[in-house]
Chain A
Amino acid sequence: MIYVSPVHELDAGRAADEASSGLPQERDHARHDHLGRERREYDRGELHHRSRSSSFRVGVDLVVVADVARSVQRFGDRYIDRIFTAHEIMCCRTPDRSQEPSTAYFVESLAARFAAKEATVKVLRPEGTRPDWRSIEVHREPGGWCEIRLRGRAAELAVEAGIAELAVSLTHESTMAAAVVVGMRSSGDRPVGRPDTVAWREE
């Protein structure tokens, strides 16, 4: 069973064919989700997407934890401060769950955040100057999950691309760290690149 938003509609031509052939014309049933938004339920695996203006961008990146450890050892705070925000550094130094603060956790967490920044850049697709790494922040929420916050050039790129929301997922082990970022581009009937959701400004 697949749920899609109303902007993805059955191919009109196919519907016309069905009408003329006597086959069932309606294969989808309008529904509403818990937020009252209309959804359509398709009762067969085949799905013809005809996306009008809404779309997604996905970025993924993989980082070798040992590479980050070497950078920290070689360049120290100059590396850390050039790439990561104060909030990110604080989060990497202070695990929010059962882990004890450790150098290994610190470096793994930095690696995951670097992966998230690169994955975000892949979503933003800059042409020319790329955003400063610190303009893409992995912000840890009180519940423990993370969100991407943008400012400066990164926020501008998001607005230009019509990206209204970003979602991120991080993972790290002792050797590798990875992140996936999904950017949802706004459809025509919604505000494009709402700054309050994708950008933050320095006070």
Chain B
Amino acid sequence: MTMDETIRDVLTEHGRLAVDAGSIEENTDLFASGMTSHASVNVMLALEDAFDIEFSEKMLRKSTFESIAAIRAGVLEMKEA
């Protein structure tokens, strides 16, 4: 499974999106697509489980989780840290 597929799976399970996480564009705004602040916490924790990482405090910004592309960049940054 690719990183993007894993991210989409996490979003499907935890993102509470009003749209299909499997088919949205990678730059689609997830918050505008229905993801609440609380759902973003679950997404963060599920991503940490899926990629065996822990998001640092400096990554706790809305922009980190605002799109699939942003999440991918954040995960890669944490894996390289």
A residues touching B (Cβ–Cβ < 8 Å)?
Answer: 61, 63-64, 67-68, 70-71, 74-75, 78-79, 82-83, 114, 118, 126, 128-133, 153
Contacts and interface: CB of A to CB of B under 8 A. Distances in A.
A116 to B, nearest CB: 12
A67 B63 CA distance: 22
A118 B37 contact: yes
Interface stretch (B17-25, B53-61, B67-75): B53-61
Contacts of B39: 67
Nearest to A68: B38
Nearest to B59: A129
Contacts of B41: 71, 79, 82-83, 133
B38 A132 contact: no
B60 A75 contact: no
Contact of B45 (A63, A79, A130): A79
B79 interface: no
A178 to B, nearest CB: 13
B42 A130 contact: no
B61 A130 contact: yes
Contacts of B60: 129-132
A114 B38 contact: yes
**Is the interface on chain B under 10, 10 to 19, 20 to 34, or 35 or more residues?**
10 to 19
Contact of A129 (B37, B45, B58): B58
Contacts of A83: 41
B42 A75 contact: yes
Interface string B19-58: 0000000000000000011110110010000000000011
B53 to A, nearest CB: 13
Contacts of B45: 71, 75, 78-79, 82
22 contacts: A64-B38, A67-B16, A67-B38, A67-B39, A71-B41, A75-B45, A78-B45, A79-B41, A79-B42, A79-B45, A82-B41, A82-B45, A83-B41, A114-B38, A118-B37, A118-B38, A128-B63, A129-B57, A129-B61, A130-B61, A131-B60, A133-B41
A5 B42 CA distance: 44
Contacts of A61: 37
Nearest to A61: B37
Contact of B57 (A64, A78, A132): A132
Contacts of A71: 38, 41-42, 45
